[in-house]
Amino acid sequence: MPPEPQPLKVLFVSSEVAPFAKTGGLGDVSGVLPRALRRRGIDVRVVMPLYAGMRWDALERLEGTLEVPMWWGRARAAVRLGRLPDGDVPIYFLEYNRYFDRPFFYGPPGEGYGDNIERFTFLSRGALELAKVIGFLPDVVHANDWQTALLPVYVNTVEWAQPLHGAATVYTIHNLLHQGVSDGGAMFVTGLGREHYHPGEFEHFGTLNLTKAALHHATLLSTVSPTYAREIQTPEAGCGLDGVLRGRQADLFGILNGIDVEAWNPATDRHIAARYTAESMEGKQACKAALQAAAGLAVDPRIPLFGVIGRLTYQKGFDVLAHCMDRVLSWDAQMVLLGTGDGDGEEFFRSLSARRPDKFKAWLAFDEGLAHRIEAGADFFVMPSRFEPCGLNQMYSLRYGTLPVARATGGLVDTVQGYQEATGDGTGFLFGDLSPGALADTIGWALSTWFDRPAHVEAMRRRAMSQDFSWDRAAASYERLYLEAYRRRRGHPFAGAVSAPAPPPTPSPRPPPPRRRPPGERARSPTRRSRRR
């Protein structure tokens, strides 16, 4: 009998994996994508750090210690084994208190810990050591964002001529703003010699940049939406690495994230006041009434209610929203906001909430249940992002029949179909120019549609709720990406079990030629901003 074909083996490494640790979309993706890959028959194992506050006693402690080579010697870490919820994907937690027993994953709000490069060097190096110790020789190593950017570098360097050197590497950019930047003097922390500190690898305008090295070393690159894959090749959105990305355009793919359609399902959601479907929407009225009451607003189904959720940061464009609030609140509309972040932003929305309790309520907290109640109870969802690699909230909104009012950027372009007033087509309201005027005008457009063309709102809601954002679609694209990476690394196709042989993925199209910077306009300084995490 011929031997059973082996499944594709993938080592998936991430600094956050929901529900164990999450600060944003990276955590969501890392928690759900591996489960969808497993459903396709891929043998995927996840590795992440064990952070303070995690329920470690519920995890199996593996025997012995894992020795991780660090610049100062060998770190002896414990390894705990768990499973992702609702499935059998193994997840390994690297337990090393010196680096991870801290109050925050990356650092206090607005800053990063001074030794973040070292902490996540440990994660990348540790993940490869773990793979060897447990005898899991991956076909593909999948690294996610700068915290794991050293993985493709190590596969090509310290694993040279070792079994792991045969692994293809995929590097996914979830948000290019955060790049893992430090002074050039920190090169030694990676354990690699100074010969790697040059503009073709780690050096970027006099700083050490882990992402740049990953972009150079990974077999294939991906990011989380087709539009963002194009945008990051331009100076406007490339955060200083657009040139490097243009150089690898043929190896860069945009795969739109999915969402957890079980956790975010208005038909079964236990967080919300009443459940509903596209066919029977009465429950949404009850959710709206409950949300209005919880926010201390007038409980009135006729007043359109706008919801806002997200990190109160520059990326999300909350400063622009702040500048148009007076205008918006002068209209017959209500707004609720849930978010945490920049001190100034929090202060602004807190005081606005106190000043206009009749129309506006801000909750400055991180509250998963409330996020569900806002998605279900609001009529419209506002997302004025400056840039948005993919964005999850607009997909949750669409699934809950809550129409996005969103800036046409990144993944928002790929998920929201712009409203056509003449025909009633579309699933949301898009605007291009990121200014308080354009945002207020678009909120006003949603408002006038609500009052003047209610049939359009109804039809858009049903259309929005019927969109497919499941991870199964995205997982099929990742499988194709892995197979292509394998083929390029080994020079021959993967011979094991493949769930659905499919054509190789197509790289993101070449972007328009870079815009010349007009005289007098200052270059942006992505490296400075990217230190925030």
Give me the residues that bind ligand ADP (CB under 6 A), please.
Answer: 24-25, 28, 309-311, 338-340, 366-368, 371, 390-393
Q: Which is nearer to ligand ADP, 40 or 174 (CB)?
A: 174
Helices (H), 44-196: 97-100, 116-133, 150-156
Long-range interactions of 241-248: CB distance < 8 A, separation 24+? 241/176, 241/179, 241/204, 241/209, 241/211, 241/212, 241/215, 241/526, 242/514, 244/212, 244/215, 244/216, 245/215, 245/221, 246/510, 246/511, 246/514, 248/215, 248/221
Q: Which is nearer to ligand ADP, 254 or 339 (CB)?
A: 339
> Minimal distance in Å, beta carbon 309 to ligand ADP?
5
> Minimal distance in Å, beta carbon 359 to ligand ADP?
21
Q: Which is nearer to ligand ADP, 396 or 482 (CB)?
A: 396
> Minimal distance in Å, beta carbon 488 to ligand ADP?
29
> Minimal distance in Å, beta carbon 260 to ligand ADP?
9
Q: Which is nearer to ligand ADP, 58 or 365 (CB)?
A: 365
Q: Which is nearer to ligand ADP, 28 or 319 (CB)?
A: 28
DSSP character at residue 190: G
> Minimal distance in Å, beta carbon 383 to ligand ADP?
8
> Minimal distance in Å, beta carbon 410 to ligand ADP?
10
CA distances to 322, 376, 430 from 466, rounded to whole Å, are 32, 15, 19
Q: Which is nearer to ligand ADP, 155 or 371 (CB)?
A: 371
Task: Report CA Rg, the chain.
Answer: 23
How many C-beta atoms surround the C-beta of residue 204 within 10 A? 21
Q: Which is nearer to ligand ADP, 10 or 371 (CB)?
A: 371
Q: How far apart are CA 153 and CA 251, in angstroms?
A: 17
**Tokens linked to 449:** 């549609």
Query: Do 127 and 11 touch, CB atoms closer than 8 A?
Result: yes
> Minimal distance in Å, beta carbon 391 to ligand ADP?
4
- 355 Cβ contact partners less than 8 Å away, ≥ 6 residues apart: none
Instruction: Determine which helix (DSSP H) or strand (DSSP E) holds 398, and give its type and residue range.
Output: helix 393-399
> Minimal distance in Å, beta carbon 121 to ligand ADP?
24
> Minimal distance in Å, beta carbon 109 to ligand ADP?
12
Bridge partner residues of 400 (DSSP): none
Burial (CB < 10 A; 0-12, 13-18, 19+), residue 200, is exposed
Q: Which is nearer to ligand ADP, 24 or 424 (CB)?
A: 24
> Minimal distance in Å, beta carbon 209 to ligand ADP?
21
- 159 Cβ contact partners less than 8 Å away, ≥ 6 residues apart: 128, 165
Q: Which is nearer to ligand ADP, 366 or 445 (CB)?
A: 366
CA distances to 99, 160, 455 from 493, rounded to whole Å, are 40, 22, 52
**Tokens linked to 300:** 């009135």
Q: Which is nearer to ligand ADP, 112 or 138 (CB)?
A: 112
Q: How far apart are CA 374 and CA 376, in angstroms?
A: 5
Reference 409, options 394, 399, 424, 425; nearest CA is: 394
